[in-house]
Amino acid sequence: MQVQTIGVVGLGNMGLGMAATLAKAGFTVLGYDISEARRAQIEAAGVSFVPELNAVLGQADALVFSLPYAKDVEAVATAPGGLLRRRDRKVVVIDTSTSDPVTTRRLAATLAAAGHALLDAPVSGGPAGAATGSLTMMIGGEAADLAIVQKVVDAMSAKAVHVGPSGAGNIAKLVNNLLVAAHLVTTGEAMRLSEAAGLSAADALAVVNAATGRSAISEAMYPRWILPGSFDSGFSAGLMRKDVRLAVEMAEASGVALPLSAEVARIWRDSTPRIADTDDFTHMADFRKEPI
């Protein structure tokens, strides 16, 4: 089944980068966002801005969603007069949003009943990865549906792992982001301790990154965004709070006690007065400020 026209819904920091990458790869890309404010920027990236959602849902051979919340994904996928009415072909939705597996499985069943398919395919790599086609994707869903859009996935990612059935991609992403949230807290505290004891954070990191305490936080985020004080990774604290909340809810639903993760969730929740939802999430590891 040929896939040439891709509809990208949600043209924020991640969605626009993915749409531009797909256009560079030779796909015809139709883009939709609730705001037209970035229309000139979108079209400059080789993406056709379409002001009507159903026009994108009705014309695309495959769809890529990049939306903030599960409720947004469900609302778009089931929009009246949209995808559920199509019978001309099977449309595979690649949902790169971070959602909860329960919603994902319910929506996958709804789309399957209409002859379509959903892959939960959350991503890692940030806006830079989206713009360069070097994302890591963790994919849940049917292997046959992934095969239909394999070239689309290949264009957007440097590494894509099919981790299991519907919902598995979101489980993997929530587990990953729970670790990231914890590492931001612990690495920030460790660097605060180092500075207080008389060793600069930069010098401490030179050791940590050559030893067993290293992580993506210490190796990548500190030199890029935290030590320079730019805090502009492109991922908001509000979205990380959402992902931590979803991970904790998943743990509760699974009957798993995670005491340390619960404390990490509390820190992220209670940090709102100091780190606004709109602030970059790397502020959590700012060792220069007093602890939450």
* Amino acid letter for position 96: T
Domains of the chain, earliest start first: 5-165 (3.40.50.720), 171-285 (1.10.1040.10)
> Which one, of 122, 116, 107, lies nearest residue 160 by Cα?
122
- How far apart CA 23 and CA 127 sit, in angstroms, is 16
Per-residue pLDDT at 290: 78
Per-residue pLDDT at 35: 87
Q: Supply the mean pLDDT for the chain.
A: 96
Report pLDDT digits (tens) over 215-244.
999 999 999 999 999 999 999 999 999 999
* Amino acid letter for position 158: A
Per-residue pLDDT at 291: 72
CA distances from 245 to 75, 95, 151, 258, 263 (A): 21, 20, 33, 13, 12
Q: Splitting the chain (292 residues) into consecutive groups of 10 residues, what average pLDDT does each group show?
A: 95 95 97 89 92 96 96 96 96 96 96 98 95 97 98 98 97 97 97 97 98 97 97 95 96 96 97 96 93 72
Please give the structure tokens belonging to residue 37. 């404010």
Task: Give the 3-state secondary structure percentages of the chain, helix then strand then coil, rounded to 5.
Answer: 50, 15, 35
Q: Looking at the annotation, which residues are catalytic?
A: 173
Asked whether the beta carbons of 64 and 97 are under 8 A apart, the reply is no
Per-residue pLDDT at 37: 85
> Which one, of 11, 76, 77, 74, lies nearest residue 39 by Cα?
11
Angle formed at CA 189 by CA 185 and CA 194, multiple of 5 degrees: 150
Per-residue pLDDT at 288: 93
DSSP-derived pairing of the beta strands 135-140 and 123-124: antiparallel
Could you give the dihedral angle defined by the CA atoms of residues 264, 267, 272 and 275, in that order, rounded to the nearest 10 degrees?
-80
